[in-house]
């Protein structure tokens, strides 16, 4: 199945902004995050098709995953 991964802010550094990956049906987000070498502690928010998700959420054909790091500010 093909999914689109979008990385935001500091997660893009040394990686990519957007990428299409071909993965086995039903793979979970945590495996995708490991595959693109992002430490779990660097992930704060995950969305699938604009809806909140977590590391254990399974993926389906055509999903778009958006991954955000913790955001600081004040």
CB proximity list for 23: less than 8 A, separation 6 or greater: 1, 2, 3, 31, 32, 59
Give pLDDT, residue 72. Answer: 66
On whether the pTM is more than 0.75, the answer is: yes
Specify the pLDDT at position 71.
Answer: 79
Question: CA-CA distance, 24 to 21, in Å (whole number)?
Answer: 10
Architecture in CATH for domain 2-68: Roll (3.10)
Instruction: For residue range 2-44, list pLDDT tens digits in order.
Output: 999 999 999 999 999 999 999 998 899 999 999 999 999 999 9
């Amino acid at each position: 199945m093909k999914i689109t991964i979008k990385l935001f802010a500091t997660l893009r550094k040394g990686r990519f902004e957007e990428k299409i990956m071909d993965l086995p049906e039903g793979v979970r987000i945590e495996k995708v995050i490991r595959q693109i070498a992002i430490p779990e502690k660097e992930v704060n928010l995950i969305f699938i098709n604009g809806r909140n998700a977590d590391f254990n959420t399974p993926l389906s054909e055509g999903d778009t995953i958006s991954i955000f790091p913790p955001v600081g500010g004040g």
